[in-house]
Amino acid sequence: MITTRQAVEVAAKLYDCQESAKSIYGNLYKERIGQWIEIVKKAEEDYGLETLLAGQKLIKKLSEQGRGIGVMMVGAAMVEILEPNKAEAER
C-alpha cells in the first residue's frame, strides 16, 4: 500500500518532469506533449493498467535504455492525463 508521503513524493516528481519539459520545449511543449500522451495511453491499453502504473512501466523501460528525455516526457504526460484541466490552465 502506498503511503500519503509516497504519493506526495511521486506527484512532486511528476510535476518536476512537467516543469522541466515546459522549460526545455517552451512554445513547442503543447505539440511535443501530445505525442507522449498518446504513448502513455497506448501503454495503458497494452498493459491493461491505469495511468500511474502504465507510466511507471514506461519510465522503467526508458530509464533502462538511458532515455532521460523520454522519462521526463512520460512523467509530464502523466500529469496531463491525470489532471487535464489544471495542466491546460498552466499552459
Q: Concatenated DSSP letters for 7-72?
A: HHHHHHHHHHHHHHHHHHHGGGHHHHHHHHHHHHHHHHHHHT--HHHHHHHHHHHHHHTT-HHHHH
Q: Is 31 part of any domain?
A: yes
Count structural domains, the chain: 1
Question: Where in the sequence is the domain holding 25, given as residue range(s)?
Answer: 6-90
Structural domain contains residue 62: yes
> Does the residue 1 lie in any domain?
no
Task: Note the pTM of the prediction, 2 decimals.
Answer: 0.87
**Averaged pLDDT, groups of 10, the chain, 91 residues long:** 85 96 96 96 96 95 96 97 70 49
The pLDDT of residue 2 is 73
